Amino acid sequence: MYYDINVILIFILGLIVGSFSNVCIYRIPRDESIVYPASHCPKCHSNILPKDNIPLLSYILLRGKCRNCKNKISIQYPIVEFLTGLIYLIIYLAFGLSFQTLIYIILSSALIIIAFIDLNDQIVPDVISLPGIVIGFIVSFFVTYISVINSGLGILVGGGIILIIGIAGTIIFKKEAMGGGDVKLASMIGAFLGWRYIIISLFLGFFLGALAGIILILSKIKKREDMVPFGPFIILGSFITLLWGGQIISWYFGF
């Protein structure tokens, strides 16, 4: 029986990157360095020992508690680690061992960080999205799966759609409907995926966001006037599109 060792290595790589992503998710909104100081407990500030910093495994062995102060460790940490590993694995299985896979796993890491920062702090950090727009556009000069024109149009179409909806929503509802961070996030995704795929991503994002909002309101977790961050839904839509965008377009025209 044939076994692909890359499957295991890619998943482990995702777990490791996911562990670092947790550092970014916690520190970037606080304007802290993501390099220094070393990883530490946010409650007692004691340094985390290497044996307690193994992705997924350490959380299980410590039973979700800090070794020193016994305070609970957020479930977000193993979730981000596992999610990153899983997405890396899915991308590898979809695109193989290729430069496209490398680009997409880098993009996915950035999007996971943005999604959880937006969920926690309701911001989309410019320190990730703005360089992401530039990097995505530069990448289009060196790859074959997306053209420079397609990437450039993706930036304009993605950001433009969110900007127009945001302005219209503000006029209609008399309050901010879309933040500037969402505009830059959509432009960043458009730079990597192109104008067709960013349109699909946004459509899916609006649909999933509306569905989640209805569920949250009906379950009384949120009220109608409460804000629900839209960034994570754009990102979820972009992951779906990245993997199955071609099939979605084919299905649409076939339908």
In a domain? residue 135: yes
In a domain? residue 113: no
In a domain? residue 117: no
How many other CB atoms are found less than 10 A from the CB of residue 240? 16
SS3 (DSSP) at 40: strand
Residues 137, 246 within the same domain = yes
Residues 139, 251 within the same domain = yes
Distance, in Å, from the CA atom of 237 to the CA atom of 111, rounded to the nearest integer, reads 11
Residues 255, 129 within the same domain = yes
**Whole domain around residue 93: which residue ranges?**
1-97
Residues 135, 253 within the same domain = yes
Q: Which amino acid does the sequence have at 89?
A: L
Residues 79, 157 within the same domain = no
Residues 73, 170 within the same domain = no
Distance, in Å, from the CA atom of 194 to the CA atom of 146, rounded to the nearest integer, reads 7
In a domain? residue 15: yes
Confirm whether pTM is higher than 0.85.
yes
Write down the pLDDT at residue 113.
97
Q: How many domains does one find in the chain?
A: 2
* Residue 86 burial class via C-beta count within 10 angstroms: exposed 0-12, middle 13-18, buried 19 and up: middle
Residues 79, 129 within the same domain = no
Per-10-residue mean pLDDT for the chain, 255 residues long?
Answer: 80 95 94 84 80 87 84 91 97 94 96 96 94 97 94 96 88 74 96 96 93 85 75 95 87 72
Write down the pLDDT at residue 213.
85
Write down the pLDDT at residue 1.
44
In a domain? residue 20: yes
* Residue 33 burial class via C-beta count within 10 angstroms: exposed 0-12, middle 13-18, buried 19 and up: exposed
Residues 134, 238 within the same domain = yes
SS3 (DSSP) at 220: coil
In a domain? residue 224: yes
SS3 (DSSP) at 157: helix
Residues 93, 161 within the same domain = no
Among the candidates 97, 114, 135, a domain finishes at: 97
In a domain? residue 148: yes
Residues 72, 138 within the same domain = no
In a domain? residue 118: no
Residues 87, 206 within the same domain = no
Collect contacts of 71-75 with beta carbons under 8 A, ≥24 apart: 71/41, 71/43, 71/44
Residues 77, 171 within the same domain = no
How far, in Å, are 44, 158, 188, 205 from residue 29 at the CA level? 20, 24, 19, 24
How far, in Å, are 9, 20, 47, 165, 235 from residue 159 at the CA level? 36, 28, 41, 10, 14
